[in-house]
């Protein structure tokens, strides 16, 4: 049987294979330090868990409307008003099965075969792959310290083609953790609008900012499409819940897509997520954000002693993007050997970068400071043998 040729455009997510190997080593008795997957060691906040349990006990297990529980859409809109000064009509919010569900809807709506999309390189690989599944040609634009590891207005203007329909940003970004401030976001929005294109912004790590205040493109323009998630800042990875904020004119076709693609997001998870916006939960989440900031600083200090700290520290998310070219031009082999020899699991850059990924790795500071310090000590031993 022949598969659809679209499948050939989807590269494997290599970190998952590495995670499987790391877990096997752990099961065999090795002390593995996990710095590979974007999932901190925090449990879902108790108010959210309690709300989910109460929803199950109350029998809230039937379908919600395709666009989501009305109360949750209102709560998300309130979140934009309270924290970003953006007045958002709840009808513009579609609750989805994870941010992946939101990206699926946006990619299917905004572009199709023959169209082109701009996005930064490096970037989260599934962003490219969702577009590829829609038949879209992805133009990856190499970024670095000179643009703050972001796709800015100048790069958008320079790389826009006649067939370009969409520019996609991620702020804070995965894997670099860098952000665009309000002025640079506005400049990108203006550049895209002047060319008749659409702007899609991945804000999945929005609440996890350390040097700049969290912001949303929704406070800059009402015309952007915004993907967000309850997974990262809100600590609900396994609940599989996200949302898409869309311009008013796009809500009806997006709702039709949602009805046909996934019917609705998980109902108990939606009820649980209502508790994520309470003051009690906010206090927990802010304490965790502060802890992640301390972990970032501890890891940066340790890597600086090894001469590996990035020239631009990440401003958000929970990743460091490291240049390992002094030691290797094969990031996959580098990560495999580090795991085999020192039981430290990190992610090869080839998962995220079309250009230069073989010379970079991503480290997630998703475990405690003592474990991060131990990981740096093991990394130092490993590098001494290179």
From first to last of the 386 residues of the chain, give the pLDDT tens digit.
778 877 877 777 777 888 889 999 999 999 999 999 889 999 999 999 999 999 999 999 999 999 999 999 999 999 999 999 999 999 999 999 999 999 999 999 999 999 999 999 999 999 999 999 889 999 999 999 999 999 999 999 999 999 999 999 999 999 999 999 999 999 999 999 999 999 999 999 999 999 888 999 999 999 999 999 999 999 999 999 999 999 999 999 999 999 999 999 999 999 999 999 999 999 999 999 999 999 999 999 999 999 999 989 999 999 999 999 999 999 999 999 999 999 999 999 999 999 999 999 999 999 999 999 999 999 999 999 98
Q: What are phi and psi of 344, to 5 degrees?
A: -120, 125
Q: What is the mean pLDDT of the chain?
A: 95
249 and 128 in one domain?
yes
Contact 281, 47 (CB under 8 A): yes
Whether residues 131 and 183 share a domain: the answer is yes
Which of 221, 244, 277 is the endpoint of a domain? 277
Same domain, 91 and 157: yes
Q: Are residues 197 and 336 in the same domain?
A: no
Using CA atoms, how far apart are residues 43 and 237, in angstroms rounded to an integer?
9
309: left (phi over 0), alpha (psi -120 to 50) or beta: beta
| Domain end call among 232, 252, 277 | 277
Is 96 inside a domain boundary?
yes
Instruction: Give residue 81's pLDDT.
Output: 97
pLDDT > 70 fraction of the chain, expressed in percent and rounded? 100
- Whether 95 maps to a domain, the answer reads yes
* pLDDT attached to residue 254: 98
Residues 77, 141, single domain; the answer is yes
Is-contact 93 67, C-beta < 8 A?
Answer: yes
* Per-residue model confidence (pLDDT) at position 17: 82
Q: Which domain holds residue 320?
A: 9-38+281-384
**Pairing verdict, β 93-96 and 242-245:** antiparallel
Residue 328 sits at φ, ψ, to 5 deg, of -160, 150
pTM attached to this predicted model: 0.95
- The Cα–Cα gap between 56 and 46 comes to 15
pLDDT of res. 304 = 96
Distance in angstroms (rounded) separating the CA atoms of residues 327 and 335: 12
pLDDT at site 202: 98
Residue 301 pLDDT: 97
Compute the radius of gyration of the chain from its Cα atoms.
21
Burial group, residue 161, by CB count within 10 angstroms (0-12, 13-18, 19+)? exposed
Within-domain flag for 233: yes
CA distances from 190 to 156, 157, 195, 201, 368 (A): 11, 10, 9, 14, 41
| Kind plus residue range of the DSSP H or E element containing 166 | strand 164-170
Q: Strand 225-229 to strand 198-202: parallel, antiparallel, or no bridges (unpaired)? A: parallel
Helices (H), 28-112: 46-57, 70-84, 98-110
What's the CATH code of the domain at 124?
Answer: 3.40.640.10
Query: Which ranges in 85-216 belong to alpha helices (H)?
Result: 98-110, 125-133, 153-159, 182-194
Q: What is the CATH number of the domain that holds 365?
A: 3.90.1150.10
């Amino acid at each position: 049987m022949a598969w659809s040729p679209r499948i050939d455009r989807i590269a494997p997510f290599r970190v998952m294979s590495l995670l499987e190997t790391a877990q096997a080593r752990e099961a065999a008795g090795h002390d593995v330090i996990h710095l590979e997957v974007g999932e901190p060691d925090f449990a879902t906040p108790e108010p959210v868990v309690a709300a989910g349990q109460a929803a199950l006990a109350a029998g809230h297990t039937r379908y919600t409307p395709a666009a989501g529980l009305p109360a949750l859409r209102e709560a998300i809109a309130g979140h934009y008003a309270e924290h970003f000064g953006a007045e958002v009509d709840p009808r513009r919010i579609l609750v989805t099965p994870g941010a992946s569900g939101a990206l699926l809807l946006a990619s299917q709506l905004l572009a199709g075969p023959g169209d082109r999309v701009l996005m930064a390189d490096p970037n989260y690989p599934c962003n490219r792959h969702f577009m590829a599944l829609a038949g879209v040609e992805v133009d990856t634009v190499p970024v670095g310290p000179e643009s703050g590891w972001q796709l800015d207005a100048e790069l958008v203007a320079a790389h826009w083609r006649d067939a370009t329909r969409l520019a996609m940003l991620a702020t804070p970004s995965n894997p670099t953790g860098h952000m665009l401030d309000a002025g640079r976001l506005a400049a990108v929005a203006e550049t895209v609008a002047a060319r008749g294109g659409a702007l899609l912004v991945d804000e999945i790590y929005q609440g996890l900012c350390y040097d700049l205040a969290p912001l949303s493109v929704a406070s800059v323009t009402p015309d952007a499409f915004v993907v967000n998630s309850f997974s990262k800042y809100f600590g609900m990875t396994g609940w599989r819940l996200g949302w898409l904020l869309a311009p008013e004119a796009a809500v009806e076709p997006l709702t039709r897509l949602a009805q046909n693609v996934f019917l609705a997001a998980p109902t108990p998870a939606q009820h649980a997520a209502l508790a994520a916006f309470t003051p009690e939960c906010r206090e927990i989440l802010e304490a965790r954000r502060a802890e992640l900031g301390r972990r970032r600083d501890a890891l940066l200090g340790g890597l600086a002693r090894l001469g590996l700290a990035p020239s631009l520290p990440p401003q958000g998310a929970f990743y460091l993007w490291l240049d390992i070219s002094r030691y290797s031009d094969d990031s996959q082999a580098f990560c495999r050997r580090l795991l085999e020899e020192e039981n430290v699991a990190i992610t090869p850059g080839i998962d995220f970068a079309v250009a230069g990924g073989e010379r970079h790795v991503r480290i997630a500071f998703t475990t405690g400071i003592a474990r991060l310090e131990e990981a740096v000590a093991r990394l130092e031993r490993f590098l001494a043998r290179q």
